[in-house]
Every structure is written in structure tokens, then in C-alpha cells.
Amino acid sequence: MEKYLYVALFAPLAGALFSLLFTAQKKNVITALVTSGLLLISFVSSLTLMFAVHDGLTLHVKMMGWISAGNLSLPYGFIVDNVSVVMMVTVTLVSAVVNIYSMGYMMHDKSYNRFFTYISMFVFSMLILVMSDNFVGLFIGWEGVGLCSYLLIGFWYEKESASWAGNEAFIMNRVADLGMLMGLFLIYWQFGTFSYDEIFAHVGSVNTGIVTTIGLLLFVGAMGKSAQFPFHTWLADAMEGPTPVSALIHAATMVTAGVYLVIRASDLFSLVPEVGHIIATLGAFVAVFAASMALVHRDLKKIIAYSTLSQLGYMFVAAGLGAYWIALFHLMTHAFFKSLLFLGAGNIMHAMDDELDIKKMGGLFKVMPYTAILMAIASVALCGVYPFAGFFSKDAILASAFNGGNFYIWFTLFIGAGMTAFYSFRLIMLVFFGDKVYKKLGFHPHETYPFVLWALLPLGILSTIAGFFEHPFEEFVTKVLDKYEFSMAHSTEIGLIFLTSAFVIIVIVATIYKYAKGGFSKQLETMPLYLLLKNQYYIPKIYEEVIFKPYYALSKFAWKQIDVRIIDFTVDLIAKTLYKTGQESRKMQSGNLSDMLRWMVVGIVVLLALAIFYRPMM
Amino acid sequence: MITLTHYLILSGILFSLGIIGVLRRKNLLMLFFSTEILLNAVNVGFVAVSKYYGDLSGQFFALFIISIAASEVAVGLGLLVLWYKRSGTIDLDSLQMMKG
Amino acid sequence: MEHILSLIVFFPLIAMFFGFVISKDSVKTFGIAVALVEFIFSIILWIGFDAGNAGFQFVEYAPLISQFGVNYYLGVDGISLFLVVLSTLMTLVSLISLNIKKDIKNLVLAILFLEMTLVGVFLSLDMILFYIFWELSLIPMLYIIGAWGSGQRIYAAIKFFLYTFAGSALMLVGILYLGYQYYLATGTWSFSIPDWHLLVLPFHTQLWLFGAFFVDFAVKVPMFPFHTWLPYAHGQAPTVGSVLLAAVMLKMGTYAFIRFSLPFFPDASVYFLYPIAVIAIIMVIYAAMVAYAQEDMKQVIAYSSISHMGIIILGTFAMNAEGITGSIFLMLSHGIVSGALFMLVGVIYDRRHTKMIDEFGGLATVMPRYATIFGILMMAAVGLPLTIGFVGEFLSLLGFYAVNPYMAFLAGTGIILGAVYMLVLYKRAFFGKLVKQENKDLKDLDKREFTALIPLVALVIILGVYPKPVLTTIDMSVKKMINLMERKALLPETKELLVRVNKVGGTK
Amino acid sequence: MFEAIAFYTFSILVIGMFGVVVFSKNALYAMSALAGGMIFISGFFFLLNADFLGVVQIIVYTGAVMALYAFGMMFFDSAKDVKENIKYKKIIYTLSVLSAIFTIFILMAPIYSVKIEAIYPTMENIGNIQMIGLILFTKYLVPFELAAIMLLVAMIAGIVLVKVKMEETPTNIEVARGEK
């Protein structure tokens, strides 16, 4: 079985290295085919491993040593268990789909080969992240996906905003990574190792305060990667990247790494419920916070990005409340429908010549029916309508919030679900139905290549049916993760499900009705609340004014004033003083003998005085 | 009773007289005179110490100082004459060639 | 193998004398050949090095002034081994990348002389010998900056020389006093480092001597606020000068901290731990900020060196095997990465005769290979895992975390700020639209530049993926040294700290 | 008593004479005063039982050195008053007095703090000149010979310096002056 592990892990790397050779050359379809093939191989291997794991296997390999210093001995170790294999399958599946999809999407791009290099590199990093058996291995993947995200956001580097967004993503992630790094250091000095098994075996015997600190620090890292408040701004800006990237990295896989981290370290987090509570609260906050921004945005991709954020909040709620398998389940279903949504958006963008403003679209259903259907499936799945995938995972999260007695969290999530329904169908209505605004603006949209649509089909199917695997899934992953017991009555549960579903469906119907009638009036757009939401609560602006600009000013000050004016000036002053002294005392050397005689006598007097008054210490 | 202190004070007075001369004289010949005073002042001191400590070494030093003074005069006066012939003056301020 | 150390030290010198009779046209080839042979020697040394022996190996000993215990005494251990290899490698690479035409002969010979002194510094086991090499290394560098530099080169060269020289003067006093102390303690004179390692000094003497050594090393490293010579030197030096300065010469300071300050004065080192850590943190943050504000590419990298040296210092003063091993590894990685980055700046300077960032923009379009290599090295510089930069930085900070978590956190902001200035530099120079007409037909890297850079890029990846053999070799000698410190420690606080930071687990 | 009278008399005379040397404007007066001062100095030597030195003082200084000065003065316009512009008089006097005080202090300090033991004690039964002869030709032989050589060298130097330029005619000197 080990060879499947290595194949799954290294096939994407091989693909990346292969297409790396072509990066400097003209577009070459071979790179896309080879990388897609290798990703499929990786997917198949992962699937094979999943079946093997299902039969009770847990693979744990140590490939080779990496770092050893002092008491630290850190090998490259990989583990395939019930949790990581789920992630592997999800990641390789979505990435294979995205890779095939990109063959159509990137068809006319001049950096075609480079794109596939990056995608394969990303998958490799992501697999390291999920498969590592220790925290530093996870950190390698963690930073690796960060790098690929940076490269892919800034893929069209000639666009100023793209490279800026890339920098923002990388740097913000770094800020959070620092927290995670500190967590790792604390782990090391507590346990003397980074390996999951050993840490989780001993975590019970360690002071709770330290476990809390570790948990919080790790969660800071997770916040950065999963773009939780206050690190959320990068995710919306990351939409500068090509759309398949947004689908793969910024919806399905990388941003969920934070959730994965919490799930992976569930043995640690379950010891400190207070931290879990913080996580859940923050998750609930972000769920509504992000959804509220999605309500008014006009940018097609940013709406989906905020939706992603909001869904990540849901996952954190589940993970924070100890319902780890539910979080993982939502992570998986979300990966399917959200990437589908993004890829559909990619089709629209292509059709609309990269126009993103949804107010300029409308009535596209006629031109691109298949895309519309797929996106509609994804949207209902996102909203959580029976029998689509989101229904099962999202309801389980709501139920777990209610079950834990955290009613305010439950209520927040409930509101969030309504918002989700609204913005999803606002998008669908504005893009696919209503007036054909695009005609006035001179766009000529068209449906995309058939093979692209075929590639989306698996995601569409999975978004529809994945929910029915809830119980097998639970059984599968709770072999490793803690079980989550619902203590409330079954009738309450059913009642809740009905309540939520009804609410969601009412919102959907109301939205459809409202937009079919022509939408909201323009006056609404001048309301302060609207402006607040539209400007993303002014947070990017605040960051700009409070962090970026002062930092730059301070840096300039440090250089121009402190470094040049003070430190270097002092150094030069010493040198100049010596030089000036020489220059001045040169005048003593006037050549006049009587002056010299006088100096000589001065010297004699000084020496005599020294001889008399100086008493050596010894 | 005249003690060593008396002699040393005398020596000091003479020495400072010599130094005054060295410092204020601009005429080279007069400068030479002043150096003679300095040497003699020291000689008095040496001999006095020699006497009061019953040690002859002081006298030898004085003796050698005298011989040095004699050589100094011989060479110095020669140079002085030479310089006078060159420049027509023996003023100290005329010797400014060492100006840095 | 018996005299391999002498061979390594003096081969460049002998070759240099032969170089005087070589014709001007072939002298570069000659230089590369010599550096290559020298590099092979150092590799042979590495192969022959017994990784299971923590002490000094290949020791050579010949009395010079036996009355005063001054000897010709060479030896290598895990701490110095890789620095020697780094010196020979960077000399070779910088010679390959050399493309100066003016007075090429003198330049090559100066570089060979410099190589001798650098290797000598790392291999000397006698304090006086060490001091001689230490000072001699200034001369060729002074010459290289002063004669082949640009702009205010004389000012920069003299500033570099006088600044570092003033520091060394103090160290010389320290050396002599320490030698005298040794004489008082044992009745015999000795300037040999292994002897001094065994000398236990009273606490107050340690404080003073530590101070005397510290000033010199701090200037060399350079530590805040003694760093201002560095931007000038880098700004005016020719590429080859910057490469050698950043890659190897700065490491002399940190090497000396590990080799001398810690084992000679364990109590003083622990006593001054926090002040030095504060300085190091200031270095990390402050230099990163100043680097961010720079308008000149080379200055960005110059200040980034200071920032990285701050982390090296922190690792060194972590007083545990993780930190010190990490800091030595970081020296290697910083040597390779900053050397390569300076070379890359040199490449663009050759083409455009300017280093101002604003003059560029969109270079990725015309010079994709150049941009790729720059990108890889940039990622190594910001410490991305699986590149060489990560291992050292991770271990250094990990080590220092045991001393003080909050300070480690502050120093850790360096990884953020490092990303800031590096990415912004990269964005401004390589991304965006190609606007300037002059940049439109820049040539990508040529064969010569490739030959020089590819080995470095390969090393960045290889040592990032598999640093273990290097780390274990270093680690062994470091552990021995820490052991020594622990045995020598006089004060209970020192002992307590050493035990604390070297112990894993437990509640604190 | 006699000693005290002699000491004070000589002191006043010597200081007066040397004062004339230092402050006089006329070179001839100064030289004469110097010669007188030298002779009075020898008086101290006799007082201090250094007969030999007293004699040498008179012979060498008053006889040889003064003769040389007198001879040298013939080259210069000695009759005229010497014109000197002296600056910073206060500095001069302060420095002189300070140096004198310090010198005395230095000389006195060991006298009062340590008892100095004589290396070559004077012996009552042997006369001063005899004694000097004994020590001069044993202990101080080499310095003595060196002093002799030095004197010889000085003599030759003096002759050579003056003689070579003697060949120059006064016209040359005038020319040289005119160029100045």
C-alpha cells in the first residue's frame, strides 16, 4: 500500500517538475495533459487508499530524516488514516477537475504552461499538508500552499492589483503563521517532538494553561489560512487570480486547511473546550459577517468569496464545538459545491469577456443553460435545501450548535443561512434571469467548451448526492475522530431541520419573487448600512490607514532619520572629530621655533604634573 | 644653616629664569645664553645633592653636562654663524622653513 | 590528508604568487582553476571529516614563539567545517560570475588572498594566528571596494576598514589580557583556543573581556547600532565584493561569537544574554523596516542581511543545541542566499547600470529565467520550508523560544517583515507592466551567469530538503561546546539557565 | 654662618646676573652678565666642596665658552639693541614658574620620602680631586671617553661649519641678502 501513498503524493510533484521545463516556452497542451493525467493518477491512488483505510488499514511511513539538532529529530513522515484520506480524495478530485477545466479556461493565455506547473505544485503542497504525520510537515505544506496561492493570485503579474493581492495574501498568511510557529515552538518545548501520535498521547498530562495557549496559537495560524476575521481581507482580494485558482485554492482546499488543522489536532482541542468555544464564536461571527458583505456586492467572484468565508465560519463552529466529523463533512461537501460555483462563475466570466459586475449581466440562462443549471445546483446545495449536499452538512452544524446549548451561536447561524439563501439567489437571478443588460453593453456571451462542462459534471453530481453518505462518512471518520453525541431529543432535531429548511426556502422564494419583479429600488444604495456593507465595513480602508501607511512612513523615518541622521551621523561625527582635531592641531606646527619651544615647555609641564599627581592604582 | 632645600630652590629659580629666557628671547644668541643658564641651574642642583648625600655621582653628571654645554656651544655657534651669513639675521622668527 | 588544513589555507596564497606572472587575459581562468582546486580540497576535507568525532580534527601544530605559547595551530570541527566549505564555494562562484575588465589581474589576486584569510580565520586554533587572519582579511576587501567600487567608493572603503579595525584593536587588548590571565592561572603562556576553552575566569574578568570581544564581533556582524558601514560598503562595492562580504565575511563575527564568546565567557554570555537579545531583536525588526524603505535593490539586500544576522545572533545566544546549530546553519544558508541575491543584483546592474528599483518593473516579462531564479532565492530568503532558509531560521527561533518566548515572538516578526520587503521589492522590480523603454530588450541570463547561479540554487533546494547530514555534523560539536560551557559555568544562574534551555518537556 | 652669608650673597649675585642675561636688550651686556654669573656659580661649587668642578666651571665656561661667544658675537651687530617682539608674556611666566615648581617638587619628593643611600660615598681622608679621578677612570671611563670624542667632534664640526662658508666673499653675502 505504501507505493500508493508515494504515488498519490509525488505524482503532482512529477507533473509540476515536468511542466516546469516548459514554462519559458510557448503554450503546449502536453503540459496540461500530463499534469491532468498525473493528478488523476493521484486521485485514483487516493481512492485506493481510501478503500484500504476503510478496510482498517492505517499507513504510517517515515520517508527519510530531515532536521535533527539538539533533542529534535524530525523526519519526513506521512500518515494515511481516516481523516487524511478524506482530505486526499477531496483535494485530488477537485484539483483534477479544476486542472481539466483549466485546459479550456486558460486556452488563450500566454503563460499556459506556467499555470499548470503552479497547480500541480499546489496539489503537492496540499497533500503534504494533509498527509504529514507531524506539525512541521504540516507547516511545510502550509507554507507551500501559501506560496502557490501567492504565485497564482499574482498569476497575471502585469496587473498591478493582482500582484498586490498576491503580496497581501502571502503577508497576511505570514502574520498568522507566526502565531502558528509560536504554537509549534511551545509544542516542541513541552513534548520534545512534533509528531501527532506522541503529542496526542501525552497531551493529557500537560498543564491545561499550556494546552490552551497551544490551542490558541495554532488557531491563529488556522485563522490566517482560512481567512477568518481579522485576516479575512486577503480572500476577497485573492479573486484577482484566475478563476480555476479561486475554485481550487480559495474555495475548496487551501482555505479549509485551517479547519483541517483544528480537526487534526482535535485530541488537543477537545481538552480545552474554552478554546473551542472561542473558535465557534468567531466562526459564527464570521459566518454572518461575511454573508452580510455578500448581500450587496456586485462583483460575481467576490460574492462567492464572501460566501466561502461564511461557510468556513460554519465549519469552525462545528470544529469548535467538538463536532469534528461534521466540520470535516461540511468541508468536503463545501469543496464540491463551492468549486462548482466558482467554475461556473469562470464560465460566465469567459462568456462575458472577464466582466464581473453582476448588474451588467442578466438573462444569461438562454445562452448558457448548462452552466446555469450547474450553478443553480451548487447554489441550492450551498443554501442547504433537501436533498442537496449542503442540507445534510449544514443542518448538522446548526443542530450541533443547538445541541451544545449555544443558542446564540445557533441563532447567528440561522440568520446566516437566510443570508446565504438571499445572496445566492440574488446572484442567480441577476446573472441568469431578468433583463438582458449585457446586450446594451455589447457583450456576446456563449456557452463554454463541452469537455469543460463534462469535467464539471462529477462535481455537480457530488453536490447533489454527497449528502446521502452522511452516515457512512460519520462511521468512517469517527474511527479516528471523537464521536459527537446528540443529546437532544430526536423530535427537536427534526423540528430544527424543518424550521431551518422552511426559513431558507421562504427566503429563496422571496428573493426569486423580488428579483423577478425588478429587484430593490436604487434608493436603497444610499443607505448607510448599504454603504457600510459595500465598503466591507471599511476594514480594508482601516488596514490601509492604520497599518500599511504608518508602517511605510515609519520605515522611511527609520531609514532617513534614525539610520542616516542619527546613527550614521554619530559614527561620522567621531571620525570627523578626529579629523578636525588633526586639522586644527596642524596649526601648532607653524614652523616657528619659539612656538615650538613653548609647546615643548607645555609638554614638560604636563609630564611633570603627571609624574607628580598621577598615582597608579597598584 | 644652609640646607639642600635652599640649593634646590635656588636651582629652581635659576631654571625658571632660564626658561623665561628660552621662551621670550627671539634673538638666537640670547637663546643660547638662556640654555646655558638652564644647564647651570641643573648643575647647581646636582652638585648640591651630591654634597648632601655624600655621593659623587652628582658631580660627574655636572661634569658631563659641562662638556655637553661646551660641545653645544661649538656646534651651535657654528650653525648660527652660517645662518647669519645666509639670511643676515639671527632672529628666531626667520627660521620658518619647517612650517607644516 | 595530514597537512590538508595547511594546504587549504595556503594554497590560494601560493597560487596568488604564481598569479603575478600569469598574463592578464588568462588570469580569470587561472583564478577559477585555483578556486576550483581549493573547493575540491575543502570537499575532500568534508569527506575525510569524521562525523562521529566532536573534537578538533586534522590538527596541525608547530611552535612559532614558544616562550609565549604562540603557535601555528590549525584544526577543524563541526562548527568551522562548513564555513570553510562555504568560503571556498562562494569564492569559486564569485570568480565565475566575475565580469570586470579593469585591472582584472589585481582583482583576481586580491580575491585569492581574501580566500586565504577567510579560510585561515575559520581554521585557526591559535588566538594570535586567528587575529592575524582576521585583520588580513580587511586588506583585500578594502582594496576591492576602493579600487573597483562605484560612487563614493573611497569613503565606503575607508569607513569599512577603520570601523572594523577600531573594533579589532579592542579585541587585541582582550586577547593579550586573556593570555596574561592564562599565564597567571597556569604559569605557562598559551594562546591556543582549546587551552583557553578550559580556562575558568572569575566573573568580573569575564564581563570585561566579553565586552572587549563583543565590540569587535558586533561591528563585524554587524549588530545594531554598529551597522552603518555595511550599507555603504555594499552600496559601493563591486558585485564580487558584496558577494564575499555578505556571504563569508559577516559570518566571521557570528562564528567568533560561537567559538570564543560563549565557551570563553559562559557566565558573561548568560549575564549579557538579554541585552544582546534585545539588540538582536532591534536588528531584526529595525533592519527589516529600513530595508523596506530603500530605493536601491542592493541596499534592500544589504539591510536584509542585517536582519538575518539578528536571527543568527539570537540562535547563538539561545545557548542550546537547537539554537546554535540552527544559527550555524543559518550562516550557511544566508551566505548562499545573500551571495546569490547580490549576484543577481549585479546581473541587472551590468545590464542597466542602475540599481534603483523604480527604474525597473515588469522584468518578469523580458527576463523570465532571471525572475525565476530571483524568485526562488527570494523565497529562500523569507524562509520558506524546503528551502535552505527555513531550517536555520526555524531552529534559531525554536532555540531562542526556550530562553524567552516573548522575545522569540518579537524576533519572529522578522519572518513577516522579511516577506514584506522582499515581496514588495519583487513586485516593484519584476511584476507590473514593462514601461521603461530601456528595459524592453534586456537580455536574460547568459551562460556565465547561469553557471554561477545554478549551483547555488541547487544547494538552496537540496540543503532545504535534506539538511540532515550537515546538521548532525554541526550538532555534535555544538553539543560538546555546550557541555563545556555547563562545566565551566561559575554562577548558579548560568548553570540553571543552561540546564533549563537544554531540557525538553516539563512545565515551566 | 659664613656659609649662609656666602650662599645668599652668591645667590643674589647669580640671580641678578642671570636676570640681566634674560632681560637685557643689549647682547654685549647679556654676555658679560652671563660670564659673571658663571663665575659666581663656581662659587657655589666651592661652597659645596666640589673644588674640581668649580675650577672646571671657571675654565670651561668663563674661559672657553664665553670666549667662543665673544668670538661669535663679532660676526653680529652686537652693539645695537636687540629687537624682539615678544607675545604672550603671561603664558611664558606661568609656564616657567610652573615648571620650576614642579621640578623642585620632583627633586624634593624622594629626598623627603626615601633615604637615599650613596653609591660612591665621599671619603674624608681622600681629597675631592683624587676621588673624582678614581671614579672617573673606573666607573665612568666609557662616558668620559665618549664625552672626549664628542668634544672633538663638536670642535671639528664648529670649524668646518664656519670655515667652508668663510670662503664666500662679502659680496656674495650681500647678494644673498638682497635676494631675500
Contact residues, chain A, for C368 at CB < 8 Å: 23-24
ipTM surpasses 0.95? no
State mean pLDDT over B26-44: 88
Contact residues, chain D, for B27 at CB < 8 Å: 27, 82, 84
Whose cell is 472577464? That residue is: A354
Distance CA C53, CA A544 (A): 55
Task: State pLDDT tens for residues C251-284.
Answer: 999 999 999 989 999 999 999 999 999 999 999 9
Per-residue model confidence (pLDDT) at position A109: 83
Interface probe, candidates D85, D98, D106, D108, chain A, greatest A C-beta count within 10 A? D98
Taking Cα atoms as reference points, which of A212, A213, A189, A217 lies closest to residue A271? A212
- Considering chain C, what is the average pLDDT of its residues? 90
State mean pLDDT over A401-422: 88
Q: Report the Cα A434 to chain-centroid distance in Å.
A: 34
Chain D residue with minimal CA distance to A611? D106
Would residue D75 count as lying in a domain? no
| Confidence band for D115, pLDDT divided at 50, 70 and 90 | low
Distance CA D50, CA D48 (A): 5
Task: State pLDDT tens for residues C74-83.
Answer: 999 989 999 9
Chain A contact for B22, CB < 8 A? Answer: yes
Interface of B with A in 49-88 (CB under 8 A): none
Task: State pLDDT tens for residues C439-481.
Answer: 888 888 888 888 889 999 999 999 999 999 899 999 999 999 9
Distance CA A151, CA A48 (A): 31
Would residue D36 count as lying in a domain? no
- Is residue C34 pLDDT above 90, yes or no? yes
Grid cell digits, residue C475: 550538532
Report the gap between the CA of B98 and the closest CA in chain D (Å). 18
| Confidence band for A360, pLDDT divided at 50, 70 and 90 | confident
Per-residue model confidence (pLDDT) at position A26: 82
**8 Å CB contact of A605 and D95:** yes
Q: Do chains D and A touch (3 or more CB pairs under 8 A)?
A: yes
Chain B contact for A491, CB < 8 A? Answer: no
Decide which of D170 and C62 is more confident. C62
| Chains in contact with C, where contact requires at least 3 CB pairs less than 8 Å apart | A
Interface probe, candidates B4, B6, B19, chain D, greatest D C-beta count within 10 A? B19
Would residue D157 count as lying in a domain? yes
- Helices and strands of chain C, counted as H and E runs: 24, 2
Per-residue model confidence (pLDDT) at position C302: 92
Distance CA A463, CA A424 (A): 15
Chain D residue with minimal CA distance to B18? D22
Task: Count how many pairs of residues, chain B against chain D, have C-beta atoms within 8 Å.
Answer: 231
pLDDT > 70 fraction of chain A, expressed in percent and rounded = 99
Would residue D98 count as lying in a domain? no
Contact residues, chain B, for A592 at CB < 8 Å: 92-93, 95-96, 99
Interface probe, candidates A583, A584, A592, chain B, greatest B C-beta count within 10 A? A592
Chain A residue with minimal CA distance to B24? A594
CA–CA–CA angle C25, C451, C442 (5° rounding): 90
Please, are residues D56 and B63 in contact by the beta-carbon 8 Å criterion? yes
Distance CA A363, CA A437 (A): 8
Of B16, B17, B71, the CB nearest to D151: B71
- Helices and strands of chain A, counted as H and E runs: 27, 2
Q: What ranges make up the beta strands (E) of A70-153?
A: 72-80
**8 Å CB contact of B23 and A591:** no
Q: Residue D174 sits in which domain range?
A: 140-180
Of A601, A602, A608, the CB nearest to D106: A608
**B27 — phi, psi (to 5°)?**
-80, 125
| Chains in contact with D, where contact requires at least 3 CB pairs less than 8 Å apart | A, B
Distance CA C407, CA C401 (A): 8
State mean pLDDT over C395-399: 92
State mean pLDDT over B46-51: 86
Chain B contact for A608, CB < 8 A? Answer: no
Give the range with max mean pLDDT: B8-22, C36-50, D101-115: C36-50
| Confidence band for A359, pLDDT divided at 50, 70 and 90 | confident
Of A590, A594, A601, the CB nearest to B99: A590
**8 Å CB contact of B22 and A601:** yes
| Confidence band for A323, pLDDT divided at 50, 70 and 90 | confident
Interface probe, candidates A66, A195, A198, A566, chain C, greatest C C-beta count within 10 A? A66
Distance CA C475, CA C391 (A): 13
Would residue D177 count as lying in a domain? yes
Distance CA A395, CA A393 (A): 6
Please, are residues A140 and A127 in contact by the beta-carbon 8 Å criterion? no
Buried b (16+ CB within 10 A) or exposed e, D19-30: bbbbbbebbeeb
Of A598, A602, A608, the CB nearest to D102: A608
Grid cell digits, residue B57: 655621582
Task: State pLDDT tens for residues A368-391.
Answer: 888 888 999 999 899 888 788 888
Per-residue model confidence (pLDDT) at position A213: 92
Distance CA A601, CA B18 (A): 12
- Considering chain B, what is the average pLDDT of its residues? 83
Interface probe, candidates A592, A593, A595, A601, chain D, greatest D C-beta count within 10 A? A601
Chain B residue with minimal CA distance to D87? B24
Task: Count how many pairs of residues, chain A against chain B, have C-beta atoms within 8 Å.
Answer: 30
3-state secondary structure A160-182: HHHHHHHHHHHHHHHHHHHHHHH
A47 by DSSP, 3-state: which?
A: helix
Q: Residue C184, Cβ neighbours under 10 Å: how many?
A: 8
Task: State pLDDT tens for residues A500-553.
Answer: 889 999 999 998 888 888 777 777 777 888 888 888 888 888 888 888 899 999
Handedness of CA C360, C364, C366, C367 (dihedral sign): positive
Q: Residue C320, Cβ neighbours under 10 Å: how many?
A: 30
The number of residues making up chain D comes to 180
Q: What is the DSSP letter of C102?
A: T
Q: Report the Cα A509 to chain-centroid distance in Å.
A: 33
Chain C residue with minimal CA distance to A72? C322
Task: State pLDDT tens for residues A119-177.
Answer: 999 999 999 999 999 999 999 999 999 999 999 998 988 888 899 999 999 999 999 99
Chain B residue with minimal CA distance to D165? B82
Task: State pLDDT tens for residues A59-98.
Answer: 888 888 888 888 888 899 999 988 899 999 999 999 999 9
Please, are residues C195 and C56 in contact by the beta-carbon 8 Å criterion? no
Please, are residues A249 and A122 in contact by the beta-carbon 8 Å criterion? yes
Per-residue model confidence (pLDDT) at position D133: 84
Chain C residue with minimal CA distance to A157? C431
Distance CA A484, CA A326 (A): 9
Q: Do chains C and B touch (3 or more CB pairs under 8 A)?
A: no
Per-residue model confidence (pLDDT) at position D180: 41
Total domains, chain D: 1
Chain B residue with minimal CA distance to A590? B99
**8 Å CB contact of A604 and D99:** yes
**8 Å CB contact of B34 and D136:** no
Per-residue model confidence (pLDDT) at position A145: 92
- DSSP assignments along C41-89, one per residue: HHHHHHHHS-TT--S-EEEEEEEEEGGGTEEEEEEE-HHHHHHHHHHHH
**8 Å CB contact of B33 and D30:** yes
State mean pLDDT over B63-76: 88
Task: State pLDDT tens for residues D126-169.
Answer: 677 788 888 888 888 898 899 899 989 988 888 887 775 555 55
| Chains in contact with B, where contact requires at least 3 CB pairs less than 8 Å apart | A, D
**8 Å CB contact of C415 and A181:** yes
Q: Residue C6, Cβ neighbours under 10 Å: how many?
A: 15
Distance CA A541, CA A545 (A): 6
State mean pLDDT over A210-235: 90
Please, are residues C263 and C148 in contact by the beta-carbon 8 Å criterion? no
Task: State pLDDT tens for residues D77-104.
Answer: 666 666 666 667 787 788 888 887 887 7
One-letter amino acid identity for A461?
A: I
Contact residues, chain D, for B79 at CB < 8 Å: 161
Q: Report the Cα B23 to chain-centroid distance in Å.
A: 12
- Is residue D10 pLDDT above 60, yes or no? yes
Whole-Å CA distances, C224 to C57, C219, C269: 35, 9, 18
| Confidence band for B99, pLDDT divided at 50, 70 and 90 | low
| Confidence band for C507, pLDDT divided at 50, 70 and 90 | very low
Interface probe, candidates A588, A608, A610, A613, chain D, greatest D C-beta count within 10 A? A608
State mean pLDDT over A412-435: 88
Sequence spans of domains, chain C: 272-508
| Confidence band for A180, pLDDT divided at 50, 70 and 90 | very high
Chain C contact for A161, CB < 8 A? Answer: no
Contact residues, chain D, for A598 at CB < 8 Å: 88, 91-92, 95
Per-residue model confidence (pLDDT) at position A616: 65
Chain D contact for A602, CB < 8 A? Answer: yes
State mean pLDDT over D119-123: 63
Chain B contact for A601, CB < 8 A? Answer: yes
**8 Å CB contact of A605 and D109:** no
Would residue D171 count as lying in a domain? yes
Chain B residue with minimal CA distance to D85? B26
State mean pLDDT over A262-279: 90
Task: State pLDDT tens for residues A435-446.
Answer: 777 777 778 888
Distance CA C83, CA A381 (A): 60
**A481: alpha, beta or left, given left = phi > 0 and alpha = psi -120 to 50?**
beta
Per-residue model confidence (pLDDT) at position A484: 82
**8 Å CB contact of C412 and A147:** no
**8 Å CB contact of B18 and D93:** no
Contact residues, chain D, for B87 at CB < 8 Å: 176-177, 180
Report the gap between the CA of A612 and the closest CA in chain D (Å). 7
Report the gap between the CA of B25 and the closest CA in chain A (Å). 8
3-state secondary structure A483-537: CCCCCCCHHHHHHHHHHHHHHHHHHHHHHHHHHHCCCCCHHHHHCHHHHHHHCHH
pLDDT > 90 fraction of chain A, expressed in percent and rounded = 29
**pTM of the predicted model as reported, rounded to 2 decimal places:** 0.85
Stretch (H or E) spanning C302: helix C297-316
Would residue D172 count as lying in a domain? yes
Would residue D152 count as lying in a domain? yes
